[in-house]
């Protein structure tokens, strides 16, 4: 299997009173695993169904390699598809389900059998060919669906929340199996999910979608460390947002006064600082693991003072919820290692909040 480049150019899908996909342009490289991540109603599934050919775009173009497939029938696009609900034929055996795409292509039976055996081996179901779907677990059925999608060696493989119906432990196991299989086959994969952890674990790049548009495209690390908007920062992992007043530049640093706290320096979300004027209300974002706590008065570098509202033990770390005068009625979340001295803090303790260097990011005012 050799993956091909998939290019979307100005893709739009409009309905009478709504725009589901709004001008999406994106190139998915040959052999790349790209996840399309977004909340319900963001347009990610509509985007996938247009690539598959189940929906025609209102405008724009879809290219697979050098071929324009924008209005080509689904069965002529040579695309593999894996659905959340498996979509297996209940009256066919596992082997017959997997062989179905080859029989539809009129391949000889002498060639089909070894291909089915190889596909079963790839998804670790070598002895299950004679069983029926109802005799399999959910995870096994999904493996069959994957085997059926890859058996005809499509250059592009589309997956629409394929693990959404499985329990957490099985889902995590199959995430690694699907990613390993994709790497061995070299297929180009577009994987739709609303699960940020799933997207971050499996993907070479992630395309975050909001209101039918691409909010940001980048590697999981880029999205986590350098979100370009408050929406992306809040959607990818935990993020605290603090209300602040913009005070301007000082020695190259952007200075803000936190509501209920001190004057601190922040890093802008991008190089365009013209959007921030003196005295403007803005948001400062910071990840929970880049904050720490200390008993009140022990650290002169504190950015805020507050009280511990709750401390949750999460195995390798404590997650503290701290009540401060930050202005948005959300408790500040702070993640600290179990062995840290602050782990002895309890509800009601007066504490100071300390931020790591360059941990704070500046965004336009948000209600997030």
What CATH number corresponds to the domain at position 323?
2.40.50.100
Cα angle for residues 317, 166, 316 (degrees, 5° grid): 10
Residue 276 has pLDDT above 80, yes or no: no
Residues 182 and 247 in one domain: no
- Residue 20 confidence class, pLDDT cut points 50, 70, 90: very high
Residues 27 and 76 in one domain: yes
Residues 37 and 164 in one domain: yes
Residue 214 lies in a domain: yes
Backbone conformation region of residue 260, classed left if phi is above 0, alpha if psi is from -120 to 50, else beta: left
Q: pTM for the whole thing?
A: 0.87
Of residues 4 and 261, the one with the higher pLDDT is 4
List the structure tokens of 341: 């001295």
CB of 49 within 8 A of CB of 55? yes
Strands across the sheet containing 19-28 = 19-28, 6-14, 59-64, 67-68
Q: What is the mean pLDDT of the chain?
A: 89
Q: Estimate the crossing angle of helix 109-122 against helix 94-104, to 10 degrees.
A: 130
Which of 233, 259, 291 is a domain's end point? 233
Domain tally, the chain: 2
| Segment 27-45, tens digit of pLDDT | 999 999 999 999 988 999 9
Task: Give mean pLDDT, residues 316-322.
Answer: 90
Which of 213, 233, 253 is a domain's end point? 233
Rounded CA gap, 304 and 102, in Å?
64
Residues 225 and 283 in one domain: no
| Segment 326-341, tens digit of pLDDT | 666 679 999 998 877 6
| Segment 180-234, tens digit of pLDDT | 889 988 999 999 999 899 999 999 999 999 999 999 999 999 999 889 888 999 9
Q: How many CB atoms lie within 10 A of CB 312?
A: 11
Residue 283 lies in a domain: yes
Residues 259 and 121 in one domain: no
Residues 287 and 212 in one domain: no
Alpha carbon separation from 298 to 286, 293, 360 (Å, rounded) = 22, 10, 21
Residue 1 lies in a domain: no
CB of 118 within 8 A of CB of 83? no
Which of 233, 254, 283 is a domain's end point? 233
Q: Which of 227-231, 274-278, 319-323 has the lowest mean pLDDT?
A: 274-278
Residues 266 and 220 in one domain: no
Residue 325 has pLDDT above 80, yes or no: no
Residue 342 has pLDDT above 70, yes or no: no
Residues 154 and 247 in one domain: no
Residues 252 and 327 in one domain: yes
List the structure tokens of 308: 């511990």
CB of 47 within 8 A of CB of 34? no
Domain extent at residue 278: 238-364
- Residue 170 confidence class, pLDDT cut points 50, 70, 90: confident
Residue 368 has pLDDT above 80, yes or no: no
Rounded CA gap, 311 and 320, in Å?
4
Residue 94 has pLDDT above 90, yes or no: yes
């Amino acid at each position: 299997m050799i993956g091909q480049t998939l290019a979307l150019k100005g893709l739009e899908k409009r309905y009478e009173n709504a725009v589901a996909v709004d001008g999406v342009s994106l190139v998915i490289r040959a052999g790349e695993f790209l996840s399309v991540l977004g909340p319900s109603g963001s347009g990610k599934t509509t985007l996938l169904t247009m690539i598959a050919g189940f929906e025609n775009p209102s405008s724009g173009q879809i290219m697979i390699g050098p071929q324009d497939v924008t209005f080509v029938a689904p069965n002529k696009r040579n695309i593999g598809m894996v659905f959340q609900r498996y979509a297996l034929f209940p009256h066919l055996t596992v082997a017959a389900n997997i062989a179905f795409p080859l029989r539809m292509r009129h391949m000889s039976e002498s060639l089909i059998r070894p291909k089915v055996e190889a596909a079963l081996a790839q998804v670790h179901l070598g002895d299950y060919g004679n069983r029926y779907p109802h005799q399999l677990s959910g995870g096994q059925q999904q493996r069959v669906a994957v085997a059926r999608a890859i058996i005809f060696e499509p250059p592009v493989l589309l997956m629409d929340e394929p693990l959404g119906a499985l329990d957490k432990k099985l889902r995590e196991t199959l995430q690694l199996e699907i990613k390993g299989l994709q790497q061995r086959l070299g297929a180009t994969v577009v994987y739709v999910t609303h699960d940020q952890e799933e997207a971050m674990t499996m993907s070479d790049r992630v395309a975050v979608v909001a209101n039918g548009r691409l909010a940001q495209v980048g590697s999981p690390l880029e999205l986590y460390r350098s979100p370009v908007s408050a929406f992306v920062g809040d959607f990818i992992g935990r993020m605290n947002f603090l209300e602040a007043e913009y005070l301007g530049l000082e020695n190259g640093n952007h200075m803000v006064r936190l509501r209920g706290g001190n004057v601190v320096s922040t890093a802008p979300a991008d190089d365009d600082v013209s959007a921030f004027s003196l005295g403007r209300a803005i948001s400062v974002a910071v990840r929970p693991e880049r904050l720490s706590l200390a008993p009140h008065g022990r650290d002169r570098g504190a950015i805020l003072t507050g009280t511990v509202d709750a401390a949750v033990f999460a195995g390798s770390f404590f997650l503290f919820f701290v009540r401060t005068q930050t202005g948005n009625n959300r408790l500040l979340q702070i993640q600290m290692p179990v062995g840290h001295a602050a782990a002895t803090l309890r509800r009601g303790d007066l504490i100071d909040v300390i931020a790591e260097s360059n941990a704070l990011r500046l965004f336009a005012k948000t209600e997030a």
